[in-house]
Copies of this chain bind each other. A is one copy, B any other.
Amino acid sequence: MNALVKPAPDAVIAAQRPGFSLEQPFYCSEDFFRLDMDCVLSRKWLLVDHVSRIPNPGDYFLFEIGSESIIVVRTAEGRVNAFFNVCRHRGSRICLDAEGNRRTLSCPYHAWVYNLDGSLRTARLMPEGFDASTYNLHPCHVRVYHGLIFLCLSPGDPPDFDALYGGFARTLDFHGFADAKVAVRRNYPNAANWKLVVENFIECYHCAPAHREYCEVHPADQLLALGAGPGSGPQEATEQYQPKLDAWLESTRKLGHPTDEIDEDENTENMAQLVRMPINDRGFLSETRDGSLACRKLMGRFRETDGGETALVFNPVSYILAFNDFAMMVRFTPRDALNTDAELVWLVHKDAEEGKDYDVDHLTWVWDTTIRQDKTITENNQLGVLSSRYRPGPYSDHEARVRTFTAWYLRHLGEGVAGT
């Protein structure tokens, strides 16, 4: 009868072996997916988009994760607000299109009208005693930071944004994110649990076997040392690569470019990271097929190229890779236990013109190629994990950040399950 009895989540968490991939239910069960949403993902500041998507008053877009839909809208005063896309009357979605412009948020069902601050403005024919002020839209925590829009879906207080992300300020400022615009946006659905998608993204152990094109852009010693960020590679390789990195950092500092670093471990809120490094040692100016610039207009305060790459990790589902001339937001958004969207958003200087300053194919080639390969990889990983013979396996020294992620995830989940 054991086959039908599911162990309790805390027992599964306790059974987990450090340094090994997760037990099967974490990657496969809808029950754990609900816990992931409630205890982990809803409590984080998620990087969802760039303000240039909603430049004008009334512009909105929808952010969707799991069963949730969030309206992110710019008010007449220029503020960015966010609300759950659920009418307080009978629950209908209010905005149906992925993006648009609205003077008010009027529900298409019964025309309850909300102001862009979420307050209920009109509800016809309500019974005596109806208190409109108690039927405002459910707000979603929102923070715009250097042009980046972050949401936190928590029903309670969100984490302290500035305390968590202040260390990114100088770098974000120098890269000019506030003055960027979206050049291209592409979604890559993965038939895999979000944690398999994340694990894949934070290790470069698979780069050599799976990403030929990416490995032609970046040198092997660098990919080994910090191909997936600081601490992602074996210690020895990191030490060997360090002099090269230091020399480059020194040269870029001479140009006045920032080289701030952040490197948080599993005992932090976000496992945040910030690092700068050269793309390679072959003179590449940008992360493109041939190393030429992807955009003739440099971003932010870059006046001369340093051939550098800036990796910003806000949490395990929110990333930016930034170069002198463009940047790419990476957003991993679960749909259900077995499906996760990977959305890539390429940013360039707001004054750059497509066709003149940048070419979309040239801009997107490296990561469009790489993320498609990752899709194949993670989907085959998921299929294998569904087998009765799947057993958690040991992480290599080149997967150090995955080990960190697993510990970070289990800690968050355990605390959530314990209600702490």
Residues of A that sit less than 8 Å from B by CB: 1-4, 8-10, 19, 21, 31, 34-35, 37-39, 42, 67-69, 84-94, 96, 106-111, 123-127, 130, 135, 138, 153, 155, 199, 205-206, 208-210, 234, 376-377, 380-381, 383-391, 393-398, 417, 419
Contact = CB atoms under 8 A, between A and B. Distances in A.
A2 to B, nearest CB: 8
Given A3-B31, A68-B387, 19 more contacts: A1-B10, A2-B419, A42-B388, A67-B387, A68-B388, A69-B383, A84-B389, A86-B385, A86-B387, A86-B389, A88-B391, A92-B377, A92-B381, A92-B384, A93-B384, A108-B210, A111-B209, A125-B205, A130-B394
A391 to B, nearest CB: 7
Contacts of A4: 9, 31, 34-35
Contacts of A135: 393-394
A300 to B, nearest CB: 36
A417 B125 contact: no
A96 to B, nearest CB: 6
30 contacts: A1-B10, A1-B419, A2-B419, A3-B39, A4-B34, A4-B35, A19-B127, A21-B89, A21-B91, A42-B388, A67-B387, A69-B384, A84-B389, A85-B387, A86-B384, A87-B384, A91-B390, A92-B381, A92-B384, A93-B380, A93-B384, A106-B209, A107-B209, A108-B376, A109-B209, A124-B398, A125-B205, A126-B394, A127-B397, A138-B389
A330 B154 CA distance: 43
B396 A123 contact: yes
A270 B44 CA distance: 49
A68, A210, A234, A388: which has the most chain B beta carbons within 10 Å?
Answer: A388
A388 B205 contact: no
A381 B126 contact: no
A110 B383 contact: no
A4, A37, A126, A135: which has the most chain B beta carbons within 10 Å?
Answer: A4
B384 A85 contact: yes
A209 B9 contact: no
A31 to B, nearest CB: 5
Contacts of A384: 69, 85-87, 91-94
A206 B107 CA distance: 10
Contacts of A199: 90
Given A90-B199, A109-B209, A381-B109, A67 B394 contact: no
Given A92-B381, A384-B85, A126 B389 contact: no
A87 B123 contact: no
A11 to B, nearest CB: 11
A268 to B, nearest CB: 23
Contact of A125 (B31, B89, B126, B234): B234
A92 B380 contact: yes
A129 to B, nearest CB: 9
Contact of A87 (B89, B138, B393): B393
Contacts of A42: 388
B21 A380 contact: no
A105 to B, nearest CB: 13
Contact of A387 (B84, B90, B377, B381): B84
A377 B109 contact: yes
Nearest to A113: B209
A1 B417 contact: yes
Given A85-B384, A387-B67, A126 B397 contact: yes
